[in-house]
Amino acid sequence: MKSHEYIEKRLGVLAALVVVVISFGGLAEIVPLFHMSKTTTPIEGMKPWSAIQLEGRDIYIREGCHVCHTQMVRPFRA
């Protein structure tokens, strides 16, 4: 019997291997964050938004303006 057939026919083994693979992938994403001193660097001269700017941002999102007015390149359609 081939190894993949052994795994496919035994649900417990398959489930255990799935958990191991997902755990390994999760650890590969999470562990490096604990070794970083900072995940972001502050930008000089950056100030928090004022109340009116935050209100404008909320309206912009609520009205769906971000759907058309982004910097994402869209394909041309004929």
60-73 residue pLDDT tens: 989 988 778 777 76
Q: Does residue 78 register a pLDDT over 60?
A: no
Q: By the 8 A CB rule, do 60 and 66 touch? A: yes
- pLDDT tier at 4 (50, 70, 90 boundaries)? confident
C-alpha dist (Å) from residue 10 to 14, 61, 63:
6, 49, 52
CA distance 62 to 56: 10
Indicate whether 52 belongs to any domain: yes
In a domain, 75, yes or no: no
CB 31 within 8 A of CB 39: no
Would 1 be classed as within a structural domain? Answer: yes
Per-residue pLDDT, averaged over 18-40, amounts to: 89
User: What is the number of structural domains in the chain?
Assistant: 1
Say if residues 24 and 30 touch (Cβ distance below 8 Å).
no
Q: What integer is the mean pLDDT of 44-61?
A: 93
